[in-house]
Structures are given as C-alpha cells and as structure tokens.
Structure 1
Amino acid sequence: MKRLLILIAVAAGLWSGYWVWGAQALKSDIANWFDTRRAEGWVADYADLSVAGFPNRLDTTLDAPSLADPGTGWAWQAPFFQILRLSYDADHRIAVWPDRQMVSTPHNKYDLTSADMRASIITGGTDAELERATLVADTVLIVRHGAEGGTAMTALNLAIKAQPDAPATYRVSLTADDLAPPAQTRRLIAPQEVLPHRFDALTADMTVTLTRPLDRRTLEQDRPQPTRIDIGKARAQWGDMVLEAAGTLQIDDLGRADGRVTLRARKWRDILRASTRAGAVPSAVADQIENALELLTAMAGNPRMLDIPLEFSGGRVYVGPVPVGTAPQFRLP
C-alpha cells in the first residue's frame, strides 16, 4: 500500500508538472504571437492572459483582445475571447466569443451581438492545417456602428471540411435561419410591396479550392485565395421569391471569375426589379434584360419560372450576349 501511495504521489507530481509546463508554454506562445503581430505593424493588444483548467484542460482566456491589420483595413475587438482544449489533445480546440464584439472592415464598423457563438476546430500537422471546423451562433444581430436596426438571424451554422483527395480544397456549408434584413433594405428593395420580415430559407453548399491550405499562416501572412468554386446548390427564399444557383467558377490571380452559374428563379421579375432598386443590376440595362428574359422564359414554355445560365468572363456577368453588371471579386481580405 505504501508503494502504491508513493507511486500515485509521483504520478500526480509528474502530471502537475506537465500541466504547469504546458500552461506556461501556451501563454508564452500566445504572447509571442501578439508580439510578432505588433512588430509587423498590427495593433495587437490584450489586457490579461490566463490559462486554467487543471488537471485535464488548458483553457485560455484573453481579456479585452484587440486586433487590427493595417494591410487589409480589418479589425476586431471584444471583451474577452476563449480557446478551450484538453491538455492531452492539442489538435481539437473550442473557440468561444462573447455576446458582443466589434468588427471593422475597410468601409464600416459593425457591432455584432449573439446569445452564443462558438466553433469546434480540428487541425493536424506541424502547421496546424485545418481538417474541419464548425461554427454555431444563436440569436445574431449585426448592426452598422452608430446606425439603428440591423441584420438579424435566429441561428447561423457554418461548416468547413478539408477534402482528403484534393489539396487545399474544402467543402463549405452555410445556413442562416430566419435571416431578417434591415427595415431600410426592405423598403429600398420593395417600396410598394409587403415582404416578410425574414427569409424563409438561406443556404449554400459549395466546394472551394484555395492557393494553399488553411493553417496557422492564414492569419499571420497573406490569406490563401480561391482558385475554383463549385456551387453545389445555393438557395434563397424571401416570401414568394425563390432563387437557386449552381455552377462552377475558375478564379484568376486578380479574383476575377470565369465560368457559368445556372440560376433558377420563381417570381423572377420581382427579383430583377428588387436587384435593380438595390443597385445590383444597372438601371440602364434593366429593361433590356427583362425583355431578353421574357423571351427566354416564353421559349422555355414557362414564363413564371426562370432557368438560365449566367456567364462570368473578364470581370463581367452576362445573360447570353447581354452584360448585366460587374462580377464580384472573389478574394479573401
């Protein structure tokens, strides 16, 4: 019995030493990461850094973290941020955000609130290459800083999974439940019509190939950029308006897309007019586009349902030979 007690005491001492060493190494790694970002010109600060969870966890809490990358114009700050993991499993982490945070883009600042936002992240290899991640957020509200009203949703789910048979390729699934655009957006899109406050459905399922894998360098260096996007299916339903999309785009070094995306739309005239009012379709060509679509749907035998390919080329979007606008740039900031 005495030997057993001695053995238990030695084992407990060794484990305690291992935990203390792991906690100190983790704090040092995080502090060095912030120091490196500051040396690169970032704003990278926090009020306090602590590690808890003895004996089986290494749970890190950053108080009042603040990050700003002057190269991209993006910034983030929050009252706290947590990274939770088991002390014997460094490849699986849980990230926890507070119920309020602020995100700045090159154009605006946004206040983001949520009842619960967290992500499960599994990585592997020496560069912590992403294998899969799932982000879940409840009762989300995004408001432009200083403005009234905002975009709300009851739940946001984002899943990313690396494809083992294709380098730097990821399956991405997104679902936003009960997405409610700001009231001013509804008035802009449909000033004479009554639209529901919330989308009935907003989902996307796609596969994205990047210039390099998502790993620890993604924040530390320039972001990997998409080279191919395969849209399995994207669907948005807002009242009677339904829009679905599927197709493949090849992305060049400047973020310009070449390829084809097939649109299927119900009440497509309302969608076209709403897009014109929102500025997504130039008003100068809106009538020309509507006339062309009228002809195409009539030839297809169903004038109420639109089923056409959009061609992406040279930074423009075309319906047949008719340019309908400038294509978005597909680049990660």
Structure 2
Amino acid sequence: MTDTLPTRRRSRFWLYAPFVLLVVLAAAWSGFWFHVHGRVVAEIDKALAREVSQGRTWTCADRSVGGFPFRIEVRCTSLTLTSTRWGEAVKVTSGPAVVVGQIYSPGLVILEATSPARATLTEGRTLDVTWKQLDASLAWRQPERFALVAAEPNLTLTTPGIGAENWRASALELHLRRNPTRPATDQAVDFAVSAKGTVLPLIDALLGTPDAGTVDLEGTLTQSEAFRKGFNPDALESWRNANGTLDLGRIAATKGPARIGGSGQLLLEPTHQVGGDLQLAAAGIEQIGGIRVGNLLGGLGGLLGGRPPAAAAAPGLTPLPPVSLRGGRVFLGPLRLPLKPLLPLY
C-alpha cells in the first residue's frame, strides 16, 4: 500500500504583492499631494495677507487649487492687483491665469496668462495690454531666475489731454538672473531683453521712420533689493538713494536700414527723471531728432567727441557723439535734441 503525500499549497503572496504595493504607494502619494495642497493654500493666504499690509491687494476670482496627481495648479478666472503705493490707487486687471508647480520640482513655478490686461494709473492714465500668448517662469533656487515670453504684445498708453501712444512687437523675451559672481553688496541682477518686430513711437520720432525693428539689450541692475517692495515710488526712491544703476553692457537695435550698437549706464536723477550716458555707434541713419545727418555721422562723432563703444565694435558702425540724458532732456554731444521732455517716473 502506497502512502500519498499531501500536495503543498503554493503561496499566492507574490501574485498579489505588486498590486498591494501599488495601492499602498498610491495612497501614500495621495496623502503627500493633499499635504502639499494644504501647505500651498496656507502659504498663498499668508502671502496675500502680507501683500495687503504693504499696500497691495491681490484678488484671484473663483480661485481653485488642483492638479492632482503630479502638479499643483492655482487658477483664477481673473487676477486683479490694487496698489495704494503710488498715492492714488493703481489697479491692474488681467484675464484668466494659472500658476503651475511640479511636485517633483518645487523650486520652479510657471505662469500662463490670457489676454487682455488693463492698468488704471495715476493722473487718469490707462494702459491696455494685449498678447497672443504669455508664459513666465520663476525659479528661486540659486541662482534665482525669471523668464517671460510673449507673442504679439501690444501696449496702448492713454493720457488725458494728450491721447494714445502705442507700442507693439511680434515677439518679446525677458530673462533675469541674480548675478552669482559680483559682491553681495552690489545686489546685482543680470538681464537680457529681446524684442522683434517692434514699433516704438519715441524711436520712430528720433529716427524719422515707422519701420518695424529689433531690440536686444543685455546688462546688470544693481541694488535690486529695493524692488522687493514692488515697483512703486518707495522702491524707486530707495533704489535712487542706494545709487542703483542700470548698466547696459550691450545695446543692439535695427530699424529698417538703420543699425545702432553700444553700451551705457542709466540711473534716476534727484528730479526722478531718467538720466545717464550712452556710447553709441550707428549706420544707415538719415536723421536724429529731426536733424539731418546723412553721411555726416563720422564727422559729427569726431567733432563732438564720439568714440567707438567697446561693446559695439560691429563692422560698418560709425561712432556717434555721446548721448546724455540730463534734466529730462536728450543731448547729442552738446546739442539738445528737439524731443519731448522725459517725464518724472514718480
């Protein structure tokens, strides 16, 4: 008689273990996401309260916070900023906006805003802004960085008694980065601005041509901590008192056949007007501020002290006399250009 050994029952642990592990991980991730969600909402409320204490009120209409499982999205059907830091109330209202942060990249946020926007400024002025697409990103890990890209931006400033002035471009890019090499006391921020297809009334009047152009600027803003207060009279006055400067390391612009290159430095004068000096070189310019120059650029530069700027030694450019901004007026060497005076910023 043969004994039959009982069959050993095979464990099904490894059959179900992956699914159990997946459920546990999903539950843990969900808990983590909702924890981050709560922290974000609390930080937003704190930041909004802090802004109110500094004279700025932000209103996010129909605010919602979502983005599960990998993002945190803050959505507003409209976004409004009201500031009392200009003496009169300044109000800026935009269309729908969304701010996105990735759970796996907590040091970076991305903003997408829908056109249009309107700013109600002091002295009854209004600024209307439209664009086809606008995206911005902010990284606050060292070095801090900010970038903005806009397609077909269009700005119209309307001033009572004067009328409307329009600025537009086919594309605009702005990049900011805290300079990691300069002394901390400089509070230096590097910037780069690029605009294509630009139409700028001031430049049109200066060069006497409505042709669209391109503008590229690179440089460094010093004493930038003043602007943590925002962009308002207090911040501008703090920047001026700290001897802040806008150092333009590279200026490159084209407008029709005209080309300009150079460098310079801008600052705020005690009258609160923009002042400074620019060293420029140019080609293809027939007039400057209504003064016919034609082929006289080289002679003017030599006669009035023009010298080739180091950053603008592009082939074919002729040095211009120094361009100076003093007391709201623009001077080409010793000659004052017949342009409207620059208004005080505050």
TM-score, scaled relative to structure 1:
0.73
In 1, distance between residues paired with 2:155 and 2:273? Answer: 28
Say which of 40, 43, 64 aligns to 1:50. Answer: 64
Moved more, 34-43 or 151-160: 34-43
- Partner amino acid, structure 1, of 2:258: M
Counterpart residue number, 2:113: 97
The 3 A distance-change label for structure 1 pair 202 and 219 is: closer
Hey, what does 2:309 align to over in structure 1? none
- When residues 293 and 156 of structure 1 are mapped into structure 2, their CA distance, relative to the original with a 3 A threshold, is closer
Q: Is the 8 A contact 2:305 2:322 kept in 1?
A: no
Query: Is structure 2 residue 150 aligned with structure 1 residue 150?
Result: no
Q: Name which of 222, 225, 239 aligns with 1:212.
A: 225
1:1-333 alignment runs, 5 A limit: 1=14, 2-72=16-86, 73-107=89-123, 108-124=125-141, 131-144=144-157, 150-166=166-182, 167=184, 168-181=187-200, 195-199=209-213, 201-212=214-225, 218=230, 223=235, 225=239, 227-249=244-266, 260-266=277-283, 270-273=287-290, 296-297=300-301, 299=303, 305-311=318-324, 319-320=332-333
Separation in 2 of the partners of 1:180 and 1:256?
A: 23
Deviation at 1:313, TM superposition (A): 6.6
Distance 2:340 2:206 in 1: 19
Residues 220 and 8 (structure 1), Cα distance of their counterparts in 2 relative to 1, 3 Å cut: farther
**Identity score, percent:** 19
Amino acid in the other structure paired with 1:230: D
Q: Which deviations, in whole Å up to 9, do the C-alpha atoms of 1:283-321 show, x marking residues without a partner?
A: xxx89x9xx98974464899x955222356787765555
2: CA distance, partners of 1:315 / 1:181: 19
Letter in 1 for 2:188: T
Residue 278 of structure 1 is matched in structure 2 by none
Q: Which amino acid aligns with 1:205?
A: E
Give the match's secondary structure for 1:15. helix
What's the offset of the Cα at 1:25? 2.0
Give the conservation status (yes or no) of the 8 Å contact 1:257–1:327: no
TM superposition shift of 1:212: 2.1
Q: Distance in 1 between matches of 2:305 and 2:81?
A: 55
Alpha-carbon RMSD across the aligned residues, in angstroms, is 4.2
Residue type of the alignment partner of 1:228: T
Rg: which structure is higher?
2
- 2:42 partner amino acid: S
Q: CA deviation at 1:136?
A: 0.6
The alignment partner of 2:169 has SS state of strand
CA contact 1:264–1:305 (8 Å) conserved in 2: yes
Q: Kindly provide the amino acid, as one letter, of the partner of residue 77 in structure 1.
A: T
Would you say how many aligned residue pairs link Structure 1 and Structure 2? 305
Whole-angstrom CA distance in 2 between matches of 1:169 and 1:39: 27
Structure 1 unaligned segments of length 5 or more: list them.
274-285
CA contact under 8 A between 2:283 and 2:318: conserved in structure 1? yes
- In the alignment, the residues of structure 1 paired with residue 334 and residue 303 of structure 2 have an alpha-carbon distance, to the nearest angstrom, of 17
The residue type equivalent to 2:168 in the other structure is A
How far apart, CA to CA, are the structure 2 residues paired with 1:239 and 1:161?
32
Alignment gaps of 5+ in structure 2? 1-13, 307-316
1:140 deviation in Å? 1.7
Contact 1:96–1:117 under 8 Å retained in 2: yes
Secondary structure of 1:75's counterpart equals strand
Q: Tell me the amino acid that sits aligned with residue 114 of structure 1.
A: W
TM-superposed CA distance for 1:181, in Å, is 4.1
